[in-house]
Amino acid sequence: MKCVFFKIIIILEQYLCSCHGDIMIGGIFPVFNKEVINNSRSEIVQLISITFSRFDWRAFRWTQVMIFSIEEINKDPVLLPNISLGYRILDSCASPTNALRAAITLASGLEEISTASACPPSISALIAESESSQSIAVAEALGPFQLPIVSYFSSCACLSNRLKYPTFFRTIPSDYFQAKALAALVKRFGWQWIGVIQSDNDYGRNGILSFTEEVQKFGVCIAFVGKVLRTYPMDKILSVVEMIKQSTVKVILAYVPESDFYPLMTEIVKQNITGIQWIASESLISTPRPYTPEIYQAFAGTLGFVVKTIIMPNLQPFLTSIDPYKDPSAAFVRDFWETVVGCRPVLPGGNTDTETTIQICTGNETLLNSQHMFFEVSELRIVYNVYNAVYAIAHALHQLVFCEPVGEKTVKPCLNISEIQPKELQMVNFKNLFGDYVFFDKKGDPPTYYHIINWQLRNGQVRHVSLGYFAAAASGGHDLRIQEEEIVWRTGKTVPTSLCSNVCPVGTRKAQIKGKPTCCFDCIPCADGTIANSTECTPCPQEYWSNDRRDGCFPKTIEFLTYQEPMGIAVTVVSLLGASLSLATVMVFIRYRETPVIKASNTELSYFLLFSLLLCFLCPLTFIGRPTVWTCMLRHTAFAVTFALCISCVLGKTIVVVTAFKATFPGNNAATKFGPTQQRIIVCSCTVIQILICILWLKLIPPFPDMVFRYSNRKIVLECNPGSEVAFYAVLGYIGLLAIICLVLAFLARKLPDNFNEAKFITFSMLIFCTVWITFIPAYISSPGKFTVAVETFAILSSAFGLLICIFGPKCYIIMIKPEKNTKKHTTLKHISMLTVLQNDWLLHFCCFYSCIIL
């Protein structure tokens, strides 16, 4: 069948002459559509195709609705009273070229009109077109002439550009809003990896562009974009089919008119491609041709958005009254009769094709009991858009002619009909007979409202089941409502998933795969101390650590030396033991203060030394427990001052021994110059210097409790930061200086002839002290965590025990074990020292053994 340029001329019931009307309205509809039949499916032989025209009964029904609406308006005594509307309708054959020819013909009146017809030469408004490509061609051509154009099915967002299309309006929402609706649907069900099929024209390109911009906000990736068109040869259709088969997507959006998508749809059914959840745009989802059980096998559960559905019961009698025998010259009716009734009517003056395979009608056929979907008026969508388009033009004309809104008292027209040049429908705002408000926004678009429909099979028939809506919200956004439990998916009742890569397991992060979309990724385990956060591993706060699953942070274990753990118990026991021995020694010295050994050992300095040793033994107790500001300052300063006092006393004892020896030389009165007062001065002055250093330390950069993280990832070590490293080592250095002086003096006096010469024991004690603190420094630096505290307490206790045992042990041994040697006779023997007295005793051996261990 050849696509021909048609004209409809219908006799209006209220007028005598055909096509008469005070104001003419034009209409362009794709009554015939071009399609391609492919005769070869061979991969070697070049594909051969034949183009033919198919009668579209849907488009023919749109023409009838336009006529029905005009007749209804002409009968309305309120809308355009005493003014009749006429119409001229042409076929575009679904081609932009033919649509442009039809538009120019209607606008200029160049079409040949029979002499019996007195139609006006041009139209005042135009209803056109179905597809966006045709509407773009018409709007670009007629826009400069300020001719209002109202489309009923062109939804391309590009047509909202008022600079390019200033007189274009439509009664179907823009694809800009449909793209938002489709994107909201994709987001609602969490589909991240989808394919797209678009028509290779303005409708498909602009629609997918808007959709892509929307879904990219949600992190959705487009796996592929397949392009189809109804005039494409089969090789291009097969390439799209192969693209679908090779892809891993489970959700595909078809943004295609039914006429462009049908060849691909049939091929998908032939190749039995199933398991895909389809989403369809408005131009596809509501079309009736795919409503077959065969196609439903591959496209079951398809979801999409459609414009509002309406029931028009008064339309059905009008449609069933169509009869080719009433007006043999009526265009399209003969083709309609062949499609719906199934036979070719024989009309007077008509051309009888004897070679046709279609049955010839008997003339008794009727449409009253026909079950064809053409007469179904309970779910009208695009038909309703055509109806509203006609009424919108009528209301605009009414206001222009009468200068009053519809319903107001109109006496006579305020303008001559010949002067009417309608420029826009921007001010139209009325409530139609079905209770809906019809108006256009500043871009010429109607209010946004879509129904969500689902293809379901009920009683052996494919049905469009409405399950929700998408509409503009009062807040300026949009509202999506879906009855999810009622949806029939391709997978049944289970919501399908579509991901390029599976969701990363707990404790891993996404790693982008080079050269692939962001939805395709590998999963990499997070490192210790970090938790998974989508595309990256987020470090835990410093005081926290990641769990084994890497999905949460938990507080790190806090570690410090406590009284409850074995090390703390040992330090406490040893510290108290040393303090007890110091007190016991003091008690022995007080008890036997009148004995020669005690009198010969410089009692005052011995008491000072024992008191300082008692404090030294108690110092480690400040190192146990949770560090605080006060305990940190106390532990370092107490240790520094007590040991300075201790070594000062030892230094005093050493000087006493040296001066006592010098006093034995004739004429030397050194002993008289170094009496108790001088001893006190030495002890106090040496101690005061350390006190001053500690005061400066506490004043400038005092020690403070610190959380140390470097020792372990899973625990926090609480320790006392010395604050100033210089001050800390200055304190140790000063104590070391005093110890070295004592060691040198004691070493020089080790062979002095005196029974109770303490120089040798002081030498032992100072060797122990110096060795302990020399080894302490590297051990202190290298020890981790609470072992640092343990090393420091070990050094304090070791050096204190060394002083106590080496200096006071021999005296207590003689007093308690060898009282027979604690006599004046033994203290006055010449050339017999205390070391000689003890040379065969175990105490001396113990002192030597202890010194060797420390060394």
Q: What is the pLDDT of residues 145-163, one digit of tens each?
A: 888 899 998 888 889 898 8
User: Same domain, yes or no, for 410 and 280?
Assistant: no
Which position has the higher pLDDT, 233 or 364? 233
Per-residue pLDDT tens digits for 306-338: 888 888 988 989 988 888 888 777 778 888 888
Tokens read off for 811: 């005296």
Per-residue pLDDT, averaged over 81-87, amounts to 88
Tell me whether residue 315 is in a domain. Answer: no
Amino acid at 16: L
Report whether 129 contacts 201 (CB < 8 A): no
pLDDT at position 244 is: 92
Residue 136: which pLDDT band, with cuts at 50, 70 and 90? very high
User: Same domain, yes or no, for 522 and 611?
Assistant: no
Report whether 302 contacts 463 (CB < 8 A): no
pLDDT at position 4 is: 39
Backbone angles phi, psi at 651, to 5 degrees: -60, -40
CATH, residue 610: 1.20.1070.10
Which position has the higher pLDDT, 14 or 517? 517
Residue 186: which pLDDT band, with cuts at 50, 70 and 90? very high
Per-residue pLDDT tens digits for 461-487: 888 888 999 987 766 678 889 999 999
User: Same domain, yes or no, for 159 and 190?
Assistant: no
Per-residue pLDDT tens digits for 425-448: 788 889 998 888 899 988 889 988
3-state SS, residue 522: strand
Rg of the chain taking only CA atoms, in angstroms: 53
pLDDT at position 40 is: 41
User: Same domain, yes or no, for 721 and 840?
Assistant: yes
Tell me whether residue 530 is in a domain. Answer: yes
- CA separation for the pair 843, 818 (Å, rounded): 11
Tell me whether residue 322 is in a domain. Answer: no
- CA separation for the pair 616, 613 (Å, rounded): 5
3-state SS, residue 152: coil
User: Same domain, yes or no, for 192 and 107?
Assistant: no
Percentage of the chain lying above the pLDDT 70 cut:
83
Query: Among 253-262, 518-527, 541-550, 846-855, where is mean pLDDT lowest?
Result: 846-855
Q: How many CA atoms lie within 13 A of 183 on its CB side?
A: 23
Alpha-carbon distances, residue 513 vs 284, 510, 517 (angstroms)? 35, 9, 8
pLDDT at 534 over 60: yes
Amino acid at 576: L
Report whether 92 contacts 129 (CB < 8 A): yes
Report whether 396 contacts 83 (CB < 8 A): no
Per-residue pLDDT tens digits for 347-395: 765 555 544 567 888 878 888 888 888 888 888 888 999 999 999 999 9
Report whether 344 contacts 356 (CB < 8 A): yes
Tell me whether residue 355 is in a domain. Answer: no
Amino acid at 251: V
Task: Tell me the residue range of the domain where 816 lies.
Answer: 569-854
pLDDT at 783 over 50: yes
- CA separation for the pair 91, 128 (Å, rounded): 10
pLDDT at position 418 is: 55
Q: What is the 3-state secondary structure (H, E, C) of 44-58?
A: CCCCCEEEEEEECHH
User: Same domain, yes or no, for 417 and 518?
Assistant: no
Handedness of CA 534, 539, 544, 547 (dihedral sign): positive
Per-residue pLDDT, averaged over 158-181, amounts to 89
Which position has the higher pLDDT, 609 or 28? 28
Tokens read off for 270: 């032939």
Q: Which of 532, 557, 554, 536 has the alpha carbon at shortest distance from 545?
A: 554
Residue 259: which pLDDT band, with cuts at 50, 70 and 90? confident
pLDDT at 824 over 70: no
What would the DSSP string read from start to end of 699-753? HHS--EEEEE-SS-SSEEEEEEE-S-HHHHHHHHHHHHHHHHHHHHHHHHTTT-S
Q: Residue 150 forms beta bridges with which residues?
A: 127, 169
Amino acid at 689: I
Per-residue pLDDT tens digits for 700-720: 889 888 888 877 788 888 888
User: Same domain, yes or no, for 91 and 141?
Assistant: yes
Per-residue pLDDT tens digits for 16-66: 233 567 888 999 999 887 655 554 443 333 334 444 567 888 899 999 999
User: Same domain, yes or no, for 631 and 607?
Assistant: yes
- CA separation for the pair 244, 251 (Å, rounded): 10
- CA separation for the pair 840, 844 (Å, rounded): 8
Residue 513: which pLDDT band, with cuts at 50, 70 and 90? confident
Strands (E), 319-390: 343-344, 359-360
- CA separation for the pair 273, 255 (Å, rounded): 19
Q: Which of 116, 47, 44, 124 has the alpha carbon at shortest distance from 80?
A: 124
pLDDT at 70 over 90: yes
Q: 129: Cβ–Cβ under 8 A, 6 or more apart, which residues?
A: 28, 29, 30, 92, 99, 135, 138, 151, 153, 154
Q: Which of 589, 599, 559, 588 has the alpha carbon at shortest distance from 784?
A: 559
Q: 668: Cβ–Cβ under 8 A, 6 or more apart, which residues?
A: 662
The b-or-e profile of 755-775 (16+ CB within 10 A means b, else e) is bbbbbbbbbbbbbbbbbbbee
- CA separation for the pair 705, 627 (Å, rounded): 6
User: Same domain, yes or no, for 13 and 29?
Assistant: yes
Alpha-carbon distances, residue 443 vs 168, 211, 392, 424, 425 (angstroms)? 9, 19, 15, 11, 11
pLDDT at 839 over 50: no
3-state SS, residue 213: helix
DSSP 492: B
pLDDT at 762 over 90: no
CATH, residue 468: 3.40.50.2300
pLDDT at position 10 is: 32
pLDDT at position 420 is: 57
Residue 672: which pLDDT band, with cuts at 50, 70 and 90? low
Q: Residue 472 forms beta bridges with which residues?
A: 478
pLDDT at position 409 is: 67
Into how many domains does the chain fold?
A: 4
Backbone angles phi, psi at 214, to 5 degrees: -75, -50
pLDDT at 551 over 50: yes
Which position has the higher pLDDT, 69 or 284? 69
Percentage of the chain lying above the pLDDT 90 cut:
16
Tell me whether residue 318 is in a domain. Answer: no
Report whether 530 contacts 537 (CB < 8 A): yes
3-state SS, residue 427: coil
Q: Which of 187, 5, 233 has the alpha carbon at shortest distance from 110?
A: 5
Handedness of CA 748, 750, 756, 762 (dihedral sign): positive
Residue 142: which pLDDT band, with cuts at 50, 70 and 90? confident
pLDDT at 566 over 50: yes
Which of 528, 555, 582 finishes a domain? 555
294 CB-contact burial (10 Å; exposed 0-12 / middle 13-18 / buried 19+): exposed
Tell me whether residue 502 is in a domain. Answer: no
pLDDT at position 822 is: 66
Query: Among 457-461, 471-475, 651-655, where is mean pLDDT lowest?
Result: 471-475
Measured in whole angstroms, the distance separating CA 617 from the mean position of its chain's CA atoms is 60
- CA separation for the pair 689, 549 (Å, rounded): 57
The b-or-e profile of 232-266 (16+ CB within 10 A means b, else e) is bebebbbebbebbeebebbbbbbbbbbbbbbbbbe
DSSP 117: -
User: Same domain, yes or no, for 193 and 119?
Assistant: no
Residue 580 CB: number of other CB atoms within 10 A? Answer: 12
pLDDT at position 170 is: 92
Query: Among 198-202, 321-325, 661-665, 702-706, where is mean pLDDT lowest?
Result: 661-665
DSSP 130: S
pLDDT at position 576 is: 92
User: Same domain, yes or no, for 433 and 536?
Assistant: no
Average pLDDT, the chain: 80
pLDDT at position 674 is: 63
Tell me whether residue 341 is in a domain. Answer: no
pLDDT at position 13 is: 29
User: Same domain, yes or no, for 162 and 119?
Assistant: yes
Helix (H) or strand (E) holding 466: strand 461-472
pLDDT at position 182 is: 92
Tokens read off for 95: 């081609």
For tokens 């069900």, name the residue: 189
pLDDT at position 818 is: 78
For tokens 């001329």, name the residue: 9
Residue 242: which pLDDT band, with cuts at 50, 70 and 90? very high
pLDDT at 585 over 50: yes
Tokens read off for 581: 């021995």
Query: Among 228-242, 283-297, 417-431, where is mean pLDDT lowest?
Result: 417-431
pLDDT at 11 over 50: no
- CA separation for the pair 792, 75 (Å, rounded): 110
pLDDT at position 236 is: 92
Per-residue pLDDT, averaged over 657-663, amounts to 65
Tell me whether residue 271 is in a domain. Answer: yes
3-state SS, residue 297: helix
Query: Among 78-82, 252-256, 354-358, 472-476, where is mean pLDDT lowest?
Result: 354-358
pLDDT at 459 over 60: yes
Q: 96: Cβ–Cβ under 8 A, 6 or more apart, which residues?
A: 133, 134, 136, 137
